[in-house]
Amino acid sequence: MNFDTTNPLLMLIDLQNAIDDPSWGVRNNPEAEDKIQALLKVWREKKRPILHIKHMSTESESKYFP
């Protein structure tokens, strides 16, 4: 199987405010948003493809409920 590595895709999954809900406890990656923002900036400057995947729960009690 051959993969084209000349134009890699940046895939961002479940980067939503729900991760900051106190019910999840203390986060182990408090600098994640800053690092992701810096990576996104570079990716956009290079006009490389970006895929955002948003978790949208159907459970009304879920932190990911729209």
pLDDT digits (tens, 9 = 90+) for 5-22: 888 899 998 777 777 778
List of E strands, 1-65: 10-13, 50-53
pLDDT of 37 strictly over 80: yes
Share of the chain above pLDDT 90, in %: 33
Cβ–Cβ < 8 Å for 63, 22: no
pTM of the model: 0.71
pLDDT given at position 39: 94
pLDDT given at position 50: 94
